[in-house]
Amino acid sequence: MKTALTIAGSDSGGGAGIQADIKTMSALGVFGMSVITAVTAQNTMEVRSVQNIDVDIIRDQIEAVFDDIRVDAVKIGMLANAATVQVVTKTLQKYKPQHIVLDPVMISKGGHYLLQDSAVNALIKELLPIATLVTPNIPEAEVLVGNAVQTEDDMYKACIRLREMGPNSVLIKGGHLVGDSNDLYYDGVDFHWFKSKRIATKNTHGTGCTLSSAIAANLAKGVTMLEAVQSAKAYITTAITHSLELGSGYGPTNHFYDLYEKANGIKRDV
């Protein structure tokens, strides 16, 4: 069986973070493993408190997995602070996984900081250069490139700038723009739009986590990056279309594989 490892924060509400990642990997028929960087007390409305995990324990979790189990792809989400960015980078450099999908999580839907401002520099200098793909949303792309990203033209420019910062490829997500929810991909040669109509729902908690995990799961199965993003976009679109009315805030996406299979005519490949 193919495997994928998520390095991210825990969301007690189950909609984002590690929980969304493992649900996505399971739905796509990939064996999910986890390194927990922080424990958040969170629901669909708010992040109440956060306990960052000691860097030694983060390093030990990564080493425990890699020293024993083949890892076909890695997905990185919430990293909380500079020390965590540094230990994750250093430990991954030791094992050199083939695929690293970096979702540069910064702020939750409810406005809580999930990455300290002082960690952004370490993320740019250390982690971006070893990423296979980086998947910022619009506000994250703005922080990383240092200017506004609001139009399609801005997205093209930000993709080029981000790629110069070291990752093999870039996917800027359009979920935070008005109008359709179109994501722009750039691999240094070609641009590619992954488009979908905006689905009228407030239940979009964990959409970025789900998308990046689906890309990692697809890469673990051995498809090309373009195929991995294409089918992950189909997965997240179905997951948002059938999102769940749970809680009073931003509800979670839906990971029932049968819905995805039906919507896209794809058979499970385990």
Ligand X SMILES: Nc1ncnc2c1ncn2[C@@H]1O[C@H](COP(=O)(O)OP(=O)(O)OP(=O)(O)O)[C@@H](O)[C@H]1O
Ligand Y SMILES: Cc1ncc(COP(=O)(O)O)c(N)n1
Provide the token pair at 105: 């999580």
Active-site choice (6, 204, 237, 238): 204
Q: Phi-psi bin for 36: left (phi > 0), alpha (psi -120 to 50), beta?
A: beta
- The rounded distance, in Å, linking the Cα atoms of 241 and 113 is 27
206 binds ligand X (CB under 6 A): yes
78 binds ligand Y (CB under 6 A): yes
Annotation marks residue 23 as catalytic: no
Nearest to 221 by CA among 269, 257, 171: 269
Near ligand X by CB under 6 A: residue from 19, 37, 44, 181: 181
- The rounded distance, in Å, linking the Cα atoms of 169 and 199 is 27
- Binding track, positions 146-175, relative to ligand X; x by CB under 6 A: ---------------------------xxx
Q: From the list ligand X, ligand Y, none, pick the one residue 255 interacts with, judged by a Cβ distance below 5 to 8 Å according to partner type.
A: none
CB 213, CB 20: distance < 8 Å: yes
Annotation marks residue 157 as catalytic: no
DSSP 15: S
Near ligand Y by CB under 6 A: residue from 2, 7, 11, 130: 11
Near ligand Y by CB under 6 A: residue from 5, 14, 17, 210: 17
Q: Alpha helices, DSSP H only, in 138-177?
A: 138-145, 152-164
How big is the chain, counted in residues? 270
- The rounded distance, in Å, linking the Cα atoms of 108 and 47 is 8
Closer Cβ to ligand X, 26 or 230, answer by number: 230
- The rounded distance, in Å, linking the Cα atoms of 138 and 44 is 21
Active-site choice (15, 32, 208, 251): 208
Provide the minimum distance between the beta carbon of 209 and ligand X in the complex, in angstroms, as a whole number. 5
Annotation marks residue 206 as catalytic: yes
- The rounded distance, in Å, linking the Cα atoms of 142 and 126 is 18
- In this structure, are strands 169-172 and 183-186 parallel, antiparallel, or unpaired? antiparallel
Near ligand X by CB under 6 A: residue from 2, 236, 252, 254: 236
Provide the minimum distance between the beta carbon of 238 and ligand X in the complex, in angstroms, as a whole number. 10
202 binds ligand X (CB under 6 A): no
Task: Map the footprint of ligand Y across residues 40-59, applying CB under 6 A.
Answer: 40, 42
Q: Which residues contact 189 (CB under 8 A, 6 or more apart)?
A: none
75 binds ligand X (CB under 6 A): no
Closer Cβ to ligand X, 52 or 243, answer by number: 243
Annotation marks residue 208 as catalytic: yes
- The rounded distance, in Å, linking the Cα atoms of 145 and 120 is 11
Residues found near ligand Y in the complex (CB under 6 A): 8-9, 11, 16-17, 40, 42, 77-78, 105, 108-109, 114, 205-206, 209
Residues found near ligand X in the complex (CB under 6 A): 16, 109, 137, 173-176, 181, 183, 196, 198-199, 204-209, 211, 233, 236-237, 240
